[in-house]
A and B are shown apart, each in its own frame.
Chain A
Amino acid sequence: MAAEANNAKPTFLSPPQEGKEPIVSLRGITKRFPGVIALDHIDLDIYPGTVHALLGENGAGKSTLVKVLYGIYTPDEGEIIINGRSTRLTSPADAISTGIVMVSQSPQIIDTLTVAENIILGLEKYNHFVPVTKVYKTIREESKRVGIKIEPGIEVWRLSYTQKQLVEILRAILLGAKVLLLDEAITYLPIEEKKRFYKFIRQFADEGGTVVLITHKIYEAMDVADKITVLRRGKVAGHLDRKEATIEKIRALMFGERSAEITYERLPTAQPEPNTVLEVKDLWVMGDFGGYAVQGVSLEVKEGEVLGIAGVAGNGQKELIQAIMRLRPVIKGKIMYNGEDITRKTTYYLRINGVGYIPDLPAKYGVSIENSIIENIAVLPVYSRGIINWDKIRELTLKLIKEFEIKTPSPDTPVKFLSGGNIMKVLVARELTVATNLLVAYNPTRALDEATAIKVRKIIKDKVLKNKVSAIIASEDLDEIFQISDRIAVMNSGKIVGVFPADKAKREEIEHLMVM
């Protein structure tokens, strides 16, 4: 595949840093997928000792860019220069041998092995040998330094998501990483732990390492990054220095005219109706590893009301949501839906009676990525019982693609070819359509960029107002909770520790209750 020479385009270089040569440079990197140009002649210089944030809306090409840097994709055109030498990366092993290591959203480690075994295995896979004692030492010392304790001898399945991600990053460092590529690697972490990770990253850079950080939290990028590059529709929209970066500038580069829509004001609300749609009474639910994750929770959602559940991850929100959806057994207590006891009913019963559900980790629980968009919509029992009316479902799918601005070549495209944000949109679009009565959601906008997340919240809220739908939304994002809720319940250690009307709730008080 020959690259046509691209003479027309001037090469844009970010101003060189005093006396330093870039550790990685990209020149004219282009990557096409069927129907999209994911990267369109990207030029980028990354300097040693910096944290370089990569921002952009969903589908902008951020993941594709770091995958090119990690040798997972080879570019159709363009050149990668590492330490001044033109380099061809055709596999992660290639990238690792030049000191580039990626950590992504989902941990790659094996559950049945211990932490140390996992790391050693990961090192050996790339012919990188480190004495076992050093592995143990590094895990102990670094995890202590970050403030997230991990025993090297513990089996991975006992670890929390945060701990697993730390293991991934430690593995990268033991692999001798000079350039760490973090593709939303800390997106799913609780706020407190995120802060620790950022400190750790900062330190890594101050000691001469390089970090390429992908996040959709602009404030986090502004806090931690030295340089910011914004991608938009596969092109570089701009390079910014930390000093010149303002939230408005970044948003304008990321979203263009859409940036005007970004606001964290509370969305309009209506007076909820007096009747109760969902009522949970003294609910007790087990967690995955034994013990009660939900301990005597009682709550109520009125018709046309959004109840937000605030809390740090791992305080029983997931189990509460799953129990309400009848995906997890209830040990004690009652769940009432529209006045009917559904404690022993099935998920199916809820799904055909107007309950929409947005689970956490959408690609794992909410969609089937090998199937097409249209099939992912048709699978719900409300749309297909017996013979499927494809014409009707196709019409609905096209409508949702348009309404939610889902970027896809066609409704028949397998979901795996969409970017993370667009996958989330497919899920949200489908669930909002079936939620004629109640929406149950857990982190409904976590994988979305700011503009899209706010748009999704607006759509949810709109639906609640217009159709008098109720919603119970658990989220680790307090901005989200404040923006969308009518009432806020704080969950901590399996219990509801406070309920506030959203217009009167104080952020500090809620944060305090969350970590108390």
Chain B
Amino acid sequence: MVIVRRVKPLPYWIIPIIALLAGIAISVIILYVLMGASPAAVLSAIVYGFTRPGVVAKTFVALTIVGIALLVSFKGSIWNIGGEGQITFGLMAATWVALFTALPYINPGLAQASMILLAMVAGGIWALLAALPRAYLGLDEVPVTLIMNYIAYYIVDILVRGPWLGKHVYNYIRTDTIPSQVMFPQVPGTTMTWDGLFLLIILLVGVWYLLKNTSIGLRIKILGNNPNLLRSSGISVPLMVIVALTISGFIAGSVGALYLGGDVYRISYPVEVHTANYGYTGILVAWLSMLELIAVPIAAYIVSALYTAGIQYQILVGGHLGQLITAGSAIVDVFIGSILLMYTILITISEYKIKIIVKKR
């Protein structure tokens, strides 16, 4: 029996699934050892998370969209860690349409569409600003996009404390609530909105088409594998870097609008505390999908189920409301951390295989 390097890779879905199961098992152990959490309670919370599509729906939609967004840039080996900032910019743009234009009262449908579209444009611009130094100065996009997340938070924080501070907010530092005309209608029996569902479908089909049938999609993929080929073909590498990252930010930005119109209805200060962290969790979704578009919704469902399970666990063991969010998300972090760890280990191991050779005599 020997261990050898694999020539043919495993089917791409095997690793995420094993990582997931092993990650959950490890989480159960960690939560038991560190917090004394009963494995039965944890597991039943997980079962709850996975069997309540209606409850999971809102998170699922957001994470799928972020996953798609990141996939576009990851395919080009452009590591967009700036989903948070792009979403925050989208949130800001959508809020502006909802609170500071007359559009909601004139044409609610158009207003909702404008919120989403403008959020995307804002997310795209924010990503473009990170793309320019990457493309023309060769600055690593990872720290740049990461830092820009915080800059986005502070810009929005300044707005909320200053010009955008609401008039009907008592002592809270937050914007006014958006008019009911632009609160996105819910799909009955679920936590998601019609706007979110439509957007999800459009983006899924659109990005599928982009990657499969357009020269931009093909060039992004080749950018990720060998930019030298783009160069010798006469295609500008900096331009493709900009295109990949901007499209990524454009798509991510829409989640800001969904978050506003279908979830929080206003921005509360400080925005970095009230964010759902979709921009970061989306990175896990993109990785678990192994950068296969059809696997993004599956990965997003799994992650959002775990997300819901974390909160559900807290309810099961009866925490009070204030604790709920933070403790719940701590548990989510344990899940996500364990899965990511298993994933990394498995990816390395999977390059090898165990093989039994029968010697010819």
A325 / chain B contacts, CB cutoff of 8 Å: 232
Once A3-B357, A86-B359, A388-B213 are accepted as A-B contacts, the answer to whether A72 and B233 lie under 8 Å apart by CB is: no
Q: Does residue B34 face the partner (Cβ distance < 8 Å to A)?
A: no
List B230-261 residues whose CB lies under 8 Å from chain A: 230-236
Cβ–Cβ contact B235 & A90, under 8 A: no
Assembly CA distance A1 to B233 (angstroms): 44
**Given known contacts A73-B7, A371-B222, A388-B214, A88 and B233 CB-to-CB distance under 8 angstroms:** no
How distant is the Cα of A359 from the Cα of B107 in the complex, in angstroms? 58
Binds B, one of A243-251, A278-286, A346-354, A496-504: A346-354
With beta carbons under 8 angstroms apart, the residue of A2, A348, A378 that contacts B358 is A2
A368 at the interface (CB under 8 A from B): yes
Known: A74-B2, A386-B215, A388-B213. A327 touches B360 (CB 8 A): no
**CB interface residues, B 303-361, toward A, < 8 Å:** 355-360
Contact between B222 and A390 (Cβ–Cβ < 8 Å)?
no
State whether the Cβ of B134 lies closer than 8 Å to any Cβ in chain A: no
Give the complex CA separation of A352 and B233 in angstroms: 9
Residues of chain A within 8 A of B5, CB atoms compared? 72, 91
A418 at the interface (CB under 8 A from B): no
Any B CB within 8 A of the CB of A376: yes
Expressed in whole angstroms, the Cα–Cα distance for A77 and B232 within the complex equals 42
Tell me, yes or no, whether A367 is within 8 Å of chain B by CB: yes
Q: Are B225 and A368 in contact, with the CB atoms below 8 A?
A: yes
Q: Which of A1-16 contact B (CB under 8 A)?
A: 1-3, 5-6
B158 contacts A by Cβ under 8 Å: no
What is the minimal beta-carbon distance from A226 to any residue of chain B, in angstroms? 29
Shortest distance between the CB of A336 and any CB in chain B (Å): 19
- B229 touching A387 by the CB < 8 A rule? no
A93 at interface (Cβ–Cβ under 8 A)? no
Contact B357 A74 (CB under 8 A): yes
Q: Which residues of B (129-143) have their CB < 8 Å from a CB of A?
A: none
* Chain B hits for A388, CB < 8 A: 213-215, 218
In the assembled complex, A268 has its CB within 8 A of some CB on chain B? no
Cβ contact within 8 Å between B234 and A352: yes
A359 close to B232 (CB less than 8 A): yes
Contact bitstring B188-204, A, C-beta under 8 A = 1, else 0: 00000000000000000
Q: Which residue of B lies closest to A76 (CB)?
A: B357
Q: Is the CB of B228 within 8 A of A79?
A: no
CB distance B234 to A90 under 8 Å?
A: no
B229–A1 contact, CB under 8 A?
Answer: no
- Contacts of A88 on B, CB cut-off 8 Å? 2, 357
Contact status A384-B232, CB under 8 Å = no
Whether A346 contacts B232 by the Cβ 8 Å rule is no
On whether the beta carbons of B232 and A327 are closer than 8 Å, the reply is: yes
Interface pair A357/B232, CB less than 8 Å apart: yes
For B359, list chain A residues within 8 Å (CB): 3, 79, 86
A366 within 8 A of B: yes
Q: A350-B234, A352-B234, A376-B229 are in contact. Are A386 and B357 (CB under 8 A)?
A: no
Query: Scoring A residues 284 to 324 as 1 if CB is less than 8 Å from chain B, else 0, what string do you get?
Result: 00000000000000000000000000000000000000000
A370–B226 touching, CB < 8 Å? yes
Give Cα A40–Cα B233 distance, bound, in whole angstroms: 38
Query: Which of B221, B232, B235 contacts A365 (CB under 8 A)?
Result: B232
A325 and B234 CA atoms in complex are apart in Å by: 9
A33 to B234, CA, bound (A): 34
User: How distant is A407 from chain B, measured CB to nearest CB, in Å?
Assistant: 17
Q: If the complex has contacts A3-B360, A90-B2, A367-B229, are A348 and B235 also in contact, measured as CB distance less than 8 A?
A: yes
A370 B225 Cβ-Cβ under 8 A = yes
B8-35 interface code vs A (CB 8 A; 1 in, 0 out): 1000000000000000000000000000
Are B358 and A351 in contact, with the CB atoms below 8 A?
no
CA A321 to CA B235, docked complex, whole Å = 18
Query: Is the Cβ of A381 less than 8 Å from the Cβ of B235?
Result: yes
Q: Is the Cβ of A5 less than 8 Å from the Cβ of B360? A: yes
Cβ proximity bits A366-386 to B, threshold 8 Å, 1 near / 0 not: 111111000110111100111
Instruction: Compute how far the CA of A264 lies from the CA of B251 in the bound complex, rounded to whole angstroms.
Output: 59
Q: How far is the CA of A370 from the CA of B227 in the complex (A)?
A: 12
How far, in whole Å, are A5 and B358 apart by their CA atoms in the complex?
A: 10
CB proximity of A66 to chain B, nearest CB, Å: 16
Mask of B49-85 contacts with A, CB within 8 angstroms, 1/0: 0000000000000000000000000000000000000
**Across the two chains, which residue of chain A brings its CB closest to B216?**
A386
- Among residues of B, the one whose C-beta sits closest to the C-beta of A33 is B7
A348 and B234 contact, Cβ closer than 8 Å, known pairs A90-B3, A387-B214? yes
Complex Cα–Cα for A148 and B219 (A): 42
Instruction: Check if B4 is an interface residue, CB within 8 A of chain A.
Output: yes
A370 to B75, CA, bound (A): 12
Q: How far is the CA of A1 from the CA of B355 in the complex (A)?
A: 7
Query: A74-B2, A368-B229 in contact; A27/B360 too (CB < 8 A)?
Result: yes
Digit string of A68-88 for contact with B (CB within 8 Å is 1, else 0)?
000011100111000000101
Q: Does A59 contact B (CB under 8 A)?
A: no
Which of A5, A380, A384, A390: most chain B Cβ within 10 A?
A384
For residue A56, CB closer than 8 A to chain B, the reply is: no
- In the complex, which residues of chain B have a beta carbon less than 8 angstroms from the beta carbon of A512? none
Check if A392 is an interface residue, CB within 8 A of chain B.
Answer: no
CB distance from A186 to the nearest CB of B (A): 24
Q: Does A34 contact B (CB under 8 A)?
A: yes
Q: Which residues on A sit within 8 Å (CB–CB) of B213?
A: 387-388, 390
B3 nearest in chain A by CB position: A90
- Give chain B residues whose Cβ lies under 8 Å from the Cβ of A209: none
A28 located at the interface, meaning its Cβ lies under 8 Å from any Cβ of chain B in the complex: yes
A357–B232 Cα distance when bound, in Å, is: 8
| A371-B2 CB under 8 A given contacts A79-B360, A379-B218, A379-B230 | no
The yes or no answer to A402 lying at the interface (CB within 8 A) is no
| A134 interfacial contact with B, CB 8 Å | no
A390 to B231, CA, bound (A): 22
Please tell me if A466 contacts chain B, counting CB pairs below 8 Å: no
| Chain A residues within 8 Å of B221, by CB | 371, 375
Contact (Cβ within 8 A) A381 B228: no
Asked whether, in the complex, the Cβ of B234 is within 8 Å of the Cβ of A28, the reply is no
Establish whether residues A366 and B225, one from each chain, have CB atoms under 8 Å apart when the complex forms.
no
- Given the contacts A90-B4, A381-B235, A1 and B214 also touching, CB distance less than 8 Å: no
**How far does the Cβ of A1 sit from chain B's closest Cβ, in whole Å?**
6
Known contacts A370-B225, A371-B222, A379-B219; is-contact A74 B232 (Cβ 8 Å): no
* Complex interface: chain A residues within 8 A of B228 (CB): 364-365
| Chain A, residue nearest B214 (CB) | A387
A79 vs B221: C-alpha distance when bound (angstroms): 41
Residues of A within 8 A of B357 (CB): 1, 3, 74, 88
Query: Given A5-B360, A27-B360, A371-B225, A379–B214 Cβ distance below 8 Å?
Result: no
Q: Which residues of A contact B8 (CB under 8 A)?
A: 33-34
Q: Choose among B4, B218, B225, B235 the residue that contacts A74 (Cβ–Cβ < 8 A).
A: B4
Q: Closest CB of chain A to B27's CB: distance in Å? A: 34
Question: What's the nearest-Cβ distance from chain A to residue B114, in Å?
Answer: 27
> Which partner residue on chain B sits nearest A381 by CB separation?
B234
Complex Cα gap A39–B310 (Å):
54
The residue of chain B having its C-beta at the shortest distance from the C-beta of A359 within the complex is B232
The contact of B226 among A1, A348, A369, by CB within 8 Å, is A369
Q: Which residue of A lies closest to B223 (CB)?
A: A368
Known: A368-B222, A385-B215. A379 touches B2 (CB 8 A): no
Expressed in whole angstroms, the minimum distance between the Cβ of A93 and any Cβ of chain B is 12
CB distance from B273 to the nearest CB of A (A): 42
Instruction: Report A321-335 CB contacts with B as 1/0, cut-off 8 Å.
Output: 000010100000000
Nearest 10 interchain pairs by C-beta: A348-B234, A351-B234, A368-B226, A384-B215, A347-B234, A370-B225, A368-B225, A368-B229, A2-B358, A90-B2
Known: A74-B2, A90-B4, A368-B225. 5 other contacts (CB 8 A): A5-B360, A78-B360, A351-B233, A364-B226, A380-B234
7 A-B pairs within 8 Å (CB atoms) are namely: A90-B4, A347-B232, A359-B232, A364-B226, A365-B231, A375-B222, A384-B215
